[in-house]
Amino acid sequence: MESDAVIRVMLVDDHAVVRAGYKRFIETDEKIRIVAEASTGEEAYTQLARIDVDVIILDLSMPGQGGFETLRRIINRYPKKKVLIFSMHENPSIARQALQIGASGYLTKSMDPEKIIVAIHEVWRGGTPIEEGIAKGITELDALGDPHTGLLPREFEVFLLLSAGESVDAICKKLNMSSRTVFNYQTTIRKKMNLHTHIEFNRYAIQRGLIPDTVNSY
């Protein structure tokens, strides 16, 4: 990387006020410029076809296809892009899945804002910045041995949506899957986790902090 190069960043968050605030703060660093903004994953994906960016700062909780599916589509289409997750979710299981899909780092909205700028530079240089508490939690996950840690990323996405009360039809639209595929994932999840009903899914996910008590989407 050239030392005098400017890092071109896209901000993806469904709250305009949040984007505006972080844009002002991030651009206090003369080496970083926000060159694109998007309020949905679909909008971000469309913009990437015409706007060259180095780092994408992506929220996970958005309307439409959501953060995980957006992350997957971006990584599949633009594998060299650096995607830095910036989320309200402080559960290490969520972070672990995002990293497995291909995220280049994971930050939380409760962390010191100055660390965001440091993380942008780090991920641009090829590093993998992860919020300290999240990194520690990921390390501890294997020791706990909870059933959900054995789910593959796609299975985990379907599990979260089922746990949040989403219908099969809604999941099909959100994840661009057939109903047969969703049912197959559901069967696999039940076998891996030894859970049999959506009520059990919901209770398990809430107890482990994977979804809040009242959810609309993740």
Determine the Cα–Cα distance for residues 203 and 56; give it in Å rounded to an integer: 34
Question: Strand locations in 80-146, DSSP E?
Answer: 82-87, 105-108
Q: For residue 97, what are the domain limits?
A: 7-141
- Per the structure, how many domains does the chain have? 2
Provide the 3-class DSSP secondary structure of residue 83.
Answer: strand
> Does a structural domain hold residue 216?
no
Determine the Cα–Cα distance for residues 134 and 122; give it in Å rounded to an integer: 17
Residues 6+ apart with CB under 8 A from 113: 22, 25
CATH code for position 154 = 1.10.10.10
Mean of pLDDT over the chain:
90
Q: Which two tokens stand for residue 192?
A: 């891996």
pLDDT by residue (tens digit) across 98-128?
Answer: 999 999 999 999 888 889 999 999 999 999 9
Q: What is the CA radius of gyration of the chain?
A: 17
> Does a structural domain hold residue 214?
no
Q: Could you say which of 119, 141, 163 is where a domain stops?
A: 141
Residue 120 near residue 32 (C-beta atoms within 8 A): yes
Residue 88 near residue 61 (C-beta atoms within 8 A): yes
Determine the Cα–Cα distance for residues 119 and 16; give it in Å rounded to an integer: 22
Q: Could you say which of 117, 141, 165 is where a domain stops?
A: 141
Confidence of residue 3 (pLDDT cuts 50, 70, 90): low
Model confidence, pTM = 0.80
> Does a structural domain hold residue 212?
no
> Does a structural domain hold residue 112?
yes
Determine the Cα–Cα distance for residues 173 and 6; give it in Å rounded to an integer: 38
> Does a structural domain hold residue 215?
no
Q: Could you say which of 141, 174, 197 is where a domain stops?
A: 141
pLDDT by residue (tens digit) across 155-214?
Answer: 999 999 999 999 999 999 888 899 999 999 999 999 999 999 989 999 999 998 898 876
